[in-house]
Structures are given as structure tokens and as C-alpha cells.
Amino acid sequence: MTLMEECRRTVPDTVRKIAEEEGVRPEKLARRVAEGRVVVPAHADRRDEVRPVGIGEGLRVKINANVGTSPEVCDPDLEVEKARAAVDHGADTVMDLSTGGDLREIRRRIMKAVDVPVGTVPVYEAAVEMTRRGRAVVDMDEDDMLRAIERHMEDGVDFMTVHCAVTLDALEDVLRRGRALGIVSRGGAIVAAWMIHHDAENPLYENFDYILELAREHDVTLSLGDAMRPGSVLDANDAAQHRELVVQGELVDRCREAGVQAMVEGPGHVPLDQIPAVVRLQKRVCDGAPFYVLGPVPTDVAPGYDHIAAAIGGAIAAYHGADFLCYVTPAEHLALPDVKDVILGVIATRIAAHAADTARGMKYARRENEEMAEARWNLDWDRQFELAIDPKKPRHYREERPPQAKELCSMCGEYCAIKILKDALEERR
Amino acid sequence: MTLMEECRRTVPDTVRKIAEEEGVRPEKLARRVAEGRVVVPAHADRRDEVRPVGIGEGLRVKINANVGTSPEVCDPDLEVEKARAAVDHGADTVMDLSTGGDLREIRRRIMKAVDVPVGTVPVYEAAVEMTRRGRAVVDMDEDDMLRAIERHMEDGVDFMTVHCAVTLDALEDVLRRGRALGIVSRGGAIVAAWMIHHDAENPLYENFDYILELAREHDVTLSLGDAMRPGSVLDANDAAQHRELVVQGELVDRCREAGVQAMVEGPGHVPLDQIPAVVRLQKRVCDGAPFYVLGPVPTDVAPGYDHIAAAIGGAIAAYHGADFLCYVTPAEHLALPDVKDVILGVIATRIAAHAADTARGMKYARRENEEMAEARWNLDWDRQFELAIDPKKPRHYREERPPQAKELCSMCGEYCAIKILKDALEERR
């Protein structure tokens, strides 16, 4: 039985644990998992190993960090270190997107190194195998794609992105009407190129029942990829994107019928005024399935700082209902991220999630903001650092620029607003 | 005649220049200046020296960078360097908030060092003078406050923050109902402490006509401070804040009657769901006066990264109508910023402004996003860097992690989505 099926009958332990942590009723959470409005990614073989993480309606916004080698930079130790750093700084899940080196071995090492759910994109491996056999990526056949999926399921990944929802209709939209920036999803481009080359429908769509069988067997959560996610704010919300969204909705229904957990991936690059509509539409069309967004970035001119752009878009998306934010690092659009980039990406994304949870009235966020206000009123710096999303950096600022008056800071010194007001109030008593 | 009065009769050259740069009709812009919906801060004596900058309705969102010494860190050379770095990285204005060293000399040096409008907060100087005379800040009298304002006007500052709108009513709200974090505006705390100590109405409110006379004489733009801006998201939109806003609206009317340009300062710390309301309310109550916000930050737990939190809030505020974003640096709440902090603060705020302008459909933003999409499609890296808000950092990423295949990047290498799609399209032709 998959977790979703179990939740239709009872309240599994995993769900109880999450309910307690999140402060929701266990029965309510189990119902949401049963209905597919919350996912708990954990491979059948890893249910007792993996930290229970719930993603979806009514829960704290979660964040994912991507790591993985590339053909250009292949250092498995570095990727393990990045995965660990991501989790240490607060990532709720990790995806291994490796395309260089011994992919299976790297995957296993990353899954061992962290206790959070791990996701992958098997079609990358299918592509890498073709290249290594001296063939073009588009020379793969549908069995190559499906075998990669099967292999990842057997290896125990907890969730995986499958680009099943991009169909010839949507591709035709891109080809006929044009786009500022074509297709920028890596997996999406592989599948689309295959469809163009073979002039054939998406084999992952056509074989979706088989994928469901595999996912059901291993209780792997499917993340329905968005091949057509815009790569420029100018392409946001075009016909291609929405054709794919409608198919994602269809596939969500089929997942639920099969007892397979599913979430839906979304954009990408979106002007901020359009973000609320994107989220609401997804929630409607996909009947409340958890929404997993990459960014979105609301401007295209911030390379080197796309973690900041993505924090803007991610906060707005999460406030309007996105459940799961994929981090964006400062290296996005430029290079494979290093450890420092990973940490900055995680922190920026956590700020976005916290801002959203604050606006959504989540109790934990309110309590943390209250405690921070109290620590600031008390000029209690150690407590401020403890409460900070990242305690290290603010502590470093203070150690680097210590104030002469210990309780104050070097910005205002004796003209500290809090101190001036407190003194006046004290005198008044 | 002040610029506002001139605009009631004709279209001054300064306004023509701005209109051309911003792509709006000069007559329309002059009308907006005349009505007080756009300000062009430039002291009467500096109108030909200072870069013309328009802030308000229909114009590109502008950003301000604060610099200035503190009693703790007093290095005038550093502050000049920070002011220059801010402008080099795209700040539209600079405020000198110095409270350490020879304040007048530092002010003059900063005004000489940059060509953008420079603003100040004269009440800081009044407070510093009291401290230097061995007295308490609250021992100043109203003449001390007014003389500081007059001195700054005589020194040629282009705009200044005056905390005229905080009244006993609003202060009573804070004292009676309490707040998570009292008063965090430095100038606001000085004025409020004075009011508590003397049990008297705000002298800057009571002498507003005199301040208007001075401002009219020197054509200095008044920035109506928000003493009651929340210092925690929990205090956002409370009665105290709104009492002050109503008075700010009254003062805007009085500025317009006197022919004095005015903008209105706003929060602060605000949960993101409340930001649109804050902006709309300000625009309504202050009859379209330009809105100058500090941040706002939508979560309190991001010390060390408040430039990111502020970018989230600033983008939302600016999209909903805020015209002018005061930057927040990573050192906010912790220490006096250094040059690196200033640069990061400016860049993060420019990203917020660009995201807002993209969503508002500003033509320049659309063109820049289009050009970036084109450069990305062409894998033209040099062009991408040219178009970036900060060309240096992305260039550094690429130089530090050069790809083997020159046209690609180290993240995806040969599995570049753009390359895969382009190859498939080429083959199809």
C-alpha cells in the first residue's frame, strides 16, 4: 500500500509526526494526503530512514535545494558537501540533478549523506547514456527513458520529476507562435527535442500508466515537470504553458486514482503581477495538488543575484498558495553553484518562505517574529542571532564591527531609537 | 519661485530633461510636479549642479542609499566612498545620516562627491549638538530643532526628512496600547522622547508654517517622516501609524498650498499581504504624493540578509504604487554598513525596482527583459553581462568557473536546454 492509500484508511505514524510538528490535527493531515492535497515524499524502502516532510495545503512552506555534477564540473565530494550544507541551512529536500560522472554512485552517496527526501530527474540520465554511447540525445527510444525512471525508483529516490505533461499541442504553440526564449527546462528541452526529431507524441505521456505502476510499486512521489515554463518574463502565461498545465491537471487525477502521490511543477520567469493568477490557476486546474515553483524570478536582468529575484517571486507565489519553493542560487544562469552559492540560495529561499508564512498567519512565524521583536526591544543580541534564519552572518557583523557601548550597535550608537524611547519612558515613570 | 510654482506656469528645463529620459510628455510631467504628484528634489542653488531626478506617478521607480558616520564609526572618507559606490551602482539619490564627526563638513563633502540629489535628517544634528554640550537629547528646545533645519537648508541639501506628522494623539496610542517594538525611527524616537519629556505637542508640527517658509525660500523638498513606522511586522498598520499618516496627508496639502514639494515616508516592517493596502491608503490619504518606503521587510528573522527581505517588500510596494525605495543593506539592524554592504543594498533594491517596473509594464523594463532573452537565446554572454543590473558579479562567475565549451556554461554543459532545442529546430529545417 502506498502512503496515500494508507491515509485513506488510517493515520500512519509518519503523518502523525508531521502533524505534531506542524501543529495540525493528524486526521486532517491524513485526509489531505489521501486526497492528494499534501504529499509526503518517501520511497517505500526509506520510509523509516527519511525525515518526514509534508508539502501542501495548510503546512509550512517547504524549500528544495538542487545539487549535482555537470559534464563540466564533476566532483562527487563537492556535491555531497553541497547537499549537506543545504540541509544544515534548512533545505527540506534535496534534488540530485547530476549529469557528470557515475550518476548512480553519486545518487547513492547523496541519499546516504542527508536525511531529507531526495528527488531526481531520470531523463537526464537517459540523455547522458546516449551521449556516452556516442549518440545524440534525441536518439534515445522510449525504453531508454522508462528504464532510467525504473532504475531511479529501484535506487530508492523519494520523488522524481517526470516531464509527462508536455504534448505535441503545447509544442506546436511554441513552434508556431514563437517565444522570447524557447524552452529552458533541461528535461523539457530533451523531451521536446525528441518529439521534434521523431515527430511523435511525448512517450512519457503515452506511457504514463506504466510510470504510475512503477511509482505505485515503490511509493515514489511524482513531480509533474513543467517543460514549458517560461525562461523570460515575456513568455509567462502563454498558451504553451497553459496547455501543459491542463495536462498536468489530468495527470494529477490519474495519479490519485492510482494511489500515487503527485505534485505539480511551475514557473520560472513571471512578472510579479501575474504570479497570483499562476498559482490560483494551478490550484484550480490541478484540484489542490501541491505546487512546486522554481523561483519564480520577476525580472530577467539580475544574473549573479537571481537568489534575490527568486526570493521576491517565491514569497509572492507562496503567499498565494505555492507550497514548495525550489531554491535559486546566485550562480543560476551562469555556472554550477559552489557551497557558498548553495547556502545563499537556501537562505534567500527560507526568507521568502518565512515572509509568506508570516503573511499567511502561520503560528510558528508569528511566534518567531514576536520573539525577535522582544529580543530587539531588550537589545539582547545573542537572542537575536539565535532567532535569525542564519545566526552566523549577523553574529559576524557584530564581531567585525563591535560597538563601544556593548548593548548598542555601530549604526546608531547612543542615538539608538530603542534606547532613546526607553530612557524617556523610564524617566516618565 | 519654486520648481513647483514654475511648473504651474511653464515647463522648466529640468522637467524637460526628465521627461525625455523617462519617455513621458513634458507637459504632463510638469503638471504632475505642479500638482505635487511628482517631486524633483534640487535645492534652489543646486538646480544646475544636481542630476535631474523625478520621483512619483508614471515614472521609473527610484532608489535611495543612506550613508553617514555614527558616533561609533566616524570615517568621513569612508562615507564619501560609500556615497560614490552607491551612485556608481545605480542609486538615484543619497541621504547623509551622519551623527559622528564634523557633520557640516561631511555633508558638504558628500554633496560635492556625488551628482545626485542629497537628503538629510536635520534633527539628528540637533540631537548630536545637545550630546556634545553634555546635555540629554531631550533637553533641546524647539529653536534647536528649527535651527538645524535652517542650517541644512542653507547648506544646500536637496531634500530632508522632517518628523512633523507625529502628534500627541499617535504617541498616546503607542503608550496606551503598547507595541511589540515601540518606535524604531531614529528621528521619530528623538521627537517622541522630547514630547514625552516635555509633555508637549511636537514642535515640528506646531512650527510647520515656519518650516514651509524655509523650504519655499530654498526650494527644498520635504520628506514627511514616519516616526511611527513599525519596527516589527506585528506592529504594522496599527492606530499610531495611521494617525500619523492622516497628519502626513494634512501636511501634504499645506506643502502644496505653499508651493513646496513634498513626499511621504512609509514603513518599515510589514507582512506582505498588508503592503498593497498600506500603499493604496497612503496614495489616497496623501492625494497622490510620492511615497518613499524603507523596505518594507515582510519578516523580522532575516538579520544579515535584510537586503533580501527588503527586496521582497520593496518590489510589492513599488508595484502597488510606491515611487521611491530606500535601500536596506545586509548590515541593517546590526552595524554601520561598509562599502560592500552599500553595493549589495543598492543592487538588491534595484532588482526590486526593476521587478516592479516590469510588472507595471514600463517600456524600459520590457526592452531590457527582451534584450536579455535575446542574449540568452544567442548564448551571448558578454551581452548578458552588459544588460545585467551588475555586470561584474556574473562576469566573475563565468571567469571563475569557465566552461570547456565556450558558448555554454558549467551548470548544464552540453545538456544546455537552449542548445538542445536549437539543434532540434535546426535539424528540422
Say what the pLDDT of residue B55 is.
98
Contacts of A273 in chain B (CB under 8 A): 319, 359-360
Let me know: does A86 contact A347? Beta carbons within 8 Å: no
Amino acid at A142: E
Instruction: Give pLDDT tens digits for A353-378.
Output: 999 999 999 999 999 999 999 999 99
**Region of residue A229 (left: phi > 0; alpha: psi -120 to 50; beta: else):** beta
Task: For residue A52, give the DSSP letter.
Answer: P
Strands A38-39 and A55-56: antiparallel
Report chain B residues whose CB lies below 8 A from the CB of A302: 351, 354, 388-389
Compare all CA atoms of chain A with the CA of B377 and give the residue at the minimum distance. Answer: A181
**Best residue of A89, A179, A369, A428 to probe chain B, by most B CBs closer than 10 Å:** A369
Task: Decide: B68 and B102 in contact? Cβ < 8 Å.
Answer: no
Which pLDDT band, with edges at 50, 70 and 90, does A405 fall under?
confident
Contact B93, B328 (CB under 8 A): no
Angstroms from B9 CA to nearest CA on chain A? 38
pLDDT 10s digits, A113-150: 999 999 999 999 999 999 999 999 999 999 999 999 99
**CB A354 to CB B302 under 8 A?**
yes
Say if CB A298 and CB B358 are below 8 A apart. yes
Q: Would the CB atoms of B420 and A331 count as touching at under 8 Å?
A: no
The verdict on a CB contact (< 8 Å) between B305 and A401 is: no
Tell me, what's the pLDDT at A406? 85
Domains annotated on chain B, with CATH: 1-35 (no CATH), 40-361 (3.20.20.540), 364-428 (no CATH)
pLDDT at position A297 is 98
Specify whether the CB–CB gap between B410 and A335 falls below 8 A: yes
- Most A CBs within 10 A among B73, B354, B369, hence the mutation to make, goes to B369
Helices B339-359 and B306-319: crossing angle, nearest 10°? 30
- Binding site listing of B for Zn(2+): 269, 333
pLDDT, chain A, mean: 97
Max intra-chain CA distance, chain B: 83
Q: What is the biggest distance separating any 2 CA atoms in chain A, rounded to whole angstroms?
A: 83
Residue positions forming the annotated binding site of B for [4Fe-4S] cluster: 409, 412, 416
Look at the alpha carbons of A324, A330, A336, A338 in this order and tell me if their dihedral is positive or negative.
Answer: negative
Which grid coordinates belong to A157? 529516490
Residue A38: partners with Cβ closer than 8 Å, 6 or more residues away: A29, A32, A54, A55, A56, A57, A58, A59, A290
Percent of all residues in chain A with a pLDDT value above 70, rounded to a whole number: 100
The answer to whether B189 contacts A421, with C-beta atoms less than 8 Å apart, is yes
Of B299, B404, B418, the CB nearest to A355: B299
Q: pLDDT tier at A428 (50, 70, 90 boundaries)? A: confident
Cβ within 8 Å, pair A186-B347: no
The pLDDT tens digits for A170-193 are 999 999 989 999 999 999 999 999
Contact between residue B219 and residue B43 where contact means Cβ atoms under 8 Å apart? yes
CA distance A305 to chain B (A): 8
Mean pLDDT for each 10-residue chunk of chain B (429 residues)? 97 98 98 98 96 98 98 96 98 98 98 98 98 96 98 98 97 93 96 97 98 98 97 97 98 98 97 98 98 97 98 98 98 97 98 98 98 97 97 95 89 94 91
Q: Which of A303, A394, A401 sits opposite B394 (nearest CB)?
A: A303
Closest CB to B401 among A131, A196, A335: A335
Q: Which residues of A touch B186 (CB under 8 A)?
A: 412, 415-417, 420
Task: For residue B272, give the nearest of A355, A369, A424 by CB distance.
Answer: A355
Q: Which of B233, B272, B348 sits opposite A369 (nearest CB)?
A: B233
Cβ-Cβ contacts under 8 Å between A and B: the total is: 388
Q: Which residue from A231, A337, A355 is facing B312, i.e. has the nearest CB? A: A355
Q: Is the pTM of this model over 0.90?
A: yes
pLDDT in tens, A293-305: 999 999 999 999 9
Give residue B428's pLDDT: 83
Contact assessment for residue B353 and residue B60, using Cβ atoms and an 8 Å cutoff? yes
Nearest to B96 by CA among B3, B185, B158: B158
**Interchain contact, B335 vs A397, CB within 8 Å:** yes
DSSP string, B293-353: EE--BS-S--TT-HHHHHHHHHHHHHHTT--EEE---TTTTTS---HHHHHHHHHHHHHHH
- Chain B interface, best mutation among A191, A400, A420, A428, by max B CB count within 10 A: A420
Nearest by Cα to B322 from B286, B346, B298: B286
N-terminal to C-terminal alpha carbon distance within chain A: 67
Q: A76 with A87: CB under 8 angstroms? A: no
Task: Suggest the residue from A74, A226, A397 to mutate for an interface test with chain B (most B CBs closer than 10 A).
Answer: A397
The residue to which cell 515514489 is assigned: A220
DSSP A297: B
Alpha-carbon gap: B186 to the closest alpha carbon of chain A (Å): 5
Residues A346/A327, Cβ–Cβ less than 8 Å: yes
Of B180, B370, B410, the CB nearest to A234: B370
How close, in Å, is residue A348 to chain B by CA atoms?
A: 7
For A272, which of B232, B359, B422 is closest by C-beta distance? B359
- Nearest chain B residue to A347, by CA: B305
Interchain proximity B273–A389, CB inside 8 Å: no
Reduced 3-state DSSP string for chain B: CCHHHHHCCCCCHHHHHHHHHHCCCHHHHHHHHHHCCEECCCCHHHCCCCCCCCEECCCCCEEEEEECCCCCCCCHHHHHHHHHHHHHCCCCEEEECCCCCCHHHHHHHHHHHCCCCEEECHHHHHHHHHHHCCCCHHHCCHHHHHHHHHHHHHCCCCEEEECCCCCHHHHHHHHHHCCCCCCCCHHHHHHHHHHHHHCCCCHHHHCHHHHHHHHHHHCCEEEECCCCCCCCHHHCCCHHHHHHHHHHHHHHHHHHHCCCCEEEEECCECCHHHHHHHHHHHHHHCCCCCEEEECCECCCCCCCCHHHHHHHHHHHHHHCCCCEEECCCCCCCCCCCCHHHHHHHHHHHHHHHHHHHHHCCCHHHHHHHHHHHHHHHCCCHHHHHHHCCCCHHHHHHHHHCCCCCCCCCCCCHHHCHHHHHHHHHHHHC
Reported ipTM exceeds the 0.90 cut: yes
Residue A417 to residue B188, Cβ atoms within 8 A: yes
What average pLDDT does the segment A86-101 reach?
A: 98
Q: Can the peptide bond before residue B268 be classed as cis, meaning omega within 30 degrees of 0?
A: yes
Compute φ and ψ for A35, nearest 5 degrees: -85, -10
Residue B95 confidence (pLDDT): 98
Q: Which residues of chain A lie closer than 8 angstroms to B73, CB-CB?
A: 401, 410
Sign of the CA dihedral with A364 first, then A366, A367, and A368 last: positive
Residues B429 and B427: their CA atoms lie apart, in Å, by 6
CB contact under 8 A, A299 and B351: yes
Interchain proximity B330–A393, CB inside 8 Å? yes
B269 secondary structure, DSSP code:
B
Q: Residues of B forming the annotated binding site?
A: 66, 95, 124, 163, 185-187, 226-229, 265, 269, 292, 333, 409, 412, 416
Asked if the model's pLDDT at residue A429 lies above 90, the reply is no
